[in-house]
Amino acid sequence: MLSDGSYFEGFGFGAEGTYVGELVFNTSMTGYQEALTDPSYAGQILTMTYPLIGNYGINRDDFESSKVHVAGFCVRKLCDTPYHYKSDRTVSELLSDHGVGGIEGIDTRSIVRKIRSTGVVPSAIYVGSKKPDFDDLRAKAQKFDYSKTDYVGAVSPTKTRFFGEGKKRIVLIDCGAKGNIAKELAQRGFEVAIVPAYSSASDIGKLNPDGLMLSNGPGDPELLGSIADTIKEFFHIPVFGICLGHQILAKAAGAKTYKMKFGHRGSNHPVLDTKLDRVFITTQNHGYAVDLAGLGKDFEQTHVNCNDNTCEGLAHKSKPIFSVQYHPEACPGPQDSKYLFDKFAKAINDSK
């Protein structure tokens, strides 16, 4: 049920109940397990444009976090008999285990065309054996306001933990980090201290970081001014921001953000690195973008989206401080942009 009253009837899977969120779509052909467990999808009902989902099942290796974060899941056809040597359960079983409902057998093409026309829309999914209350579902959808909820506070850890080993330490501010970010840093020989999103500058400073990483995450970046203020205290060391981290860094540099009509969610988005004069194919998942108006004179745009010219990257003109709107750690997805982790590692290793 969409907030405008239009609705789609299909077959439920996962857990029974009513689920409310912002209806979005992802154009990736694979990677549904990573998407379902990506904290950036908190508060959102995810629609996959690829028609067949679940054919390789769910395995133990491809989780981006410890739980399913989507508010609901919409697919054209769900495969309930997956075939893959790593598979240990179905998509429906995964959602049921985590108390999330989904719907299949609906016209996902129609949903995507609607979102592309009107923008993302508050919606509700009902999964159950009884006839739904259509008026109640519509009221729940209309009442929902994604931009007013602090989802970062909901998905961020409450305690600091450490990952990997190394002589130098990177503090990863976890606003809803995908697990592969810490893995990429650890693979380059760093100890990673993963801290809560709202950690104070004092608490981060006590960890003696050699570099600072700003993770991806859900929600409206305009609610995160306090995190932007915190990271300003660390502009004397290398800083790298990904996705929401890019938006937070932009805010720290004086820029603003705005909500996009339907965002970028998929694994085939072309981005121009203006410094290298090369186009990279990237994985993206964001519904907000950076408005360069107000950007401090010490910063410059370094990456541009080839489809709509939105800002895809920023960097300080003289310090090793930079960010990108997309996911260089993408799994699955194009791995064109892993050089950014190498760039960050080199900046840390070259610093005193």
pLDDT in tens, 295-352: 999 999 999 999 999 999 999 999 999 999 999 998 888 888 999 999 999 999 998 7
243, 220 in Cβ contact below 8 A?
no
DSSP one-letter code for 128: S
The Cα-based distances of 334 to 160, 214, 262, 270, 319 in angstroms read 31, 21, 22, 11, 28
Which residues touch 175 (CB under 8 Å, ≥6 apart)? 152, 155, 156, 197, 214, 215, 216, 217, 224, 227, 244, 245, 248
- Mean pLDDT of the region 106-130: 97
Alpha helices in 217-334 (DSSP H): 225-231, 244-252
340: burial class by Cβ within 10 Å (0-12, 13-18, 19+)?
buried
pLDDT exceeds 90 at position 113: yes
**Domains and their CATH numbers in the chain:** 11-148 (3.50.30.20), 152-350 (3.40.50.880)
The Cα 81–Cα 97 span in angstroms is 17
Residues 45-99: tens digit of each pLDDT: 999 999 999 999 999 999 999 999 999 999 999 999 999 999 999 999 999 999 9
The Cα 199–Cα 340 span in angstroms is 25
Residue 282 tokens read as 């990237």
Active site residues: 243, 327, 329
- Mean pLDDT of the region 132-157: 96
Place of tokens 């299949």: 104
H/E stretch holding 316 reads strand 311-316
- pLDDT given at position 333: 83
Residue 29 tokens read as 């052909």
pTM above 0.85, yes or no: yes
